[in-house]
Amino acid sequence: MIFLNVCVFILSLTPIGFCQNVLFKAKKLQTHEGKIQYSGAVGNTLEKSRLFCYIQCMTNLKCLTFFYNGISQKCVLHSKTFHFQGPDQNEQGWIVYFLEDARSRCHYDSNGFLLYRELNLCYNFNTAGQIDYSGFIKPTCSLYGGALVKINTQEKQTYISYALEGRTIIRVAIQGHSSNTDDVWTYDDGTPLAYTNWRPLEPQPGEWYLQLFTNDEWTDQNNFRPEYSCIYICEIV
């Protein structure tokens, strides 16, 4: 991955701070070079250079990834990094960058955390060979300094579903738990779920953890299921 280090600009193109104090770095996605996707874009303009395309992305809170074509001078903005499914068209001249939060809690480094600024959501994707909430999944998120992602609004559900498009592992562990004693679903801090997206006939009584399943609807899941692999999303608040 290659860094494009530039100063941060606001809409008036006035620089704020110095280059050594850059707020976001644009990191090149080598795997998507020569590819583009127009559907789902949050911006589509003509810009004279990668720098101006970067500025368009920086000033759009929904932008996480920008595609720039030096031949056509097209600039296309997206709100995800196409982690599970690459862009859908091959076209000469496209280079792709994503914004890396350079100064706050959400460093990309080796753990792959991304900041979706529209929701102030700092998250990463992980894969587990077996479902083990208490023994592996939740402790791993804790090691990152976070917890399983808390989906507490429709907007967050919609964005997570969009970012997960194209995945081949259907089960996705998210934050939520029900005990045997009262069947009340809560977050890790003990507060009741503020939003739900249950599949029909869910949840069942008993002690369960929470997952996204088919169509990203919610189902309950046992703490330990060694026969199933899953994706789990960690969030740093």
pLDDT digits over 19-32, tens only? 445 678 899 999 99
Whole-number pLDDT of residue 22: 60
Average pLDDT, the chain: 90
pLDDT above 60: residue 4 = no
Domain range 116-235, CATH architecture: Roll (3.10)
Tokens of 168: 């081949």
Whole-number pLDDT of residue 117: 96
Amino acid letter for position 170:
I
Of the listed ranges 12-26, 28-42, 167-181, the least confidently predicted one is 12-26
pLDDT above 50: residue 17 = no
Fold of 3-101: Hepatocyte Growth Factor (3.50.4)
Residue spans of the domains in the chain: they are 3-101, 116-235
The pLDDT-based confidence of 121 (bands split at 50, 70, 90) is: very high
Whole-number pLDDT of residue 92: 97
pLDDT above 50: residue 14 = no
Give Cα separations from 62 to 43, 58, 193 (angstroms): 9, 9, 26
pLDDT digits (tens, 9 = 90+) for 205-231: 888 999 999 999 999 999 999 999 999
Whole-number pLDDT of residue 206: 86
Whole-number pLDDT of residue 141: 98
Residues 6 or more apart whose CB falls under 8 angstroms from that of 151 comprise 157, 160, 174, 175, 195, 197
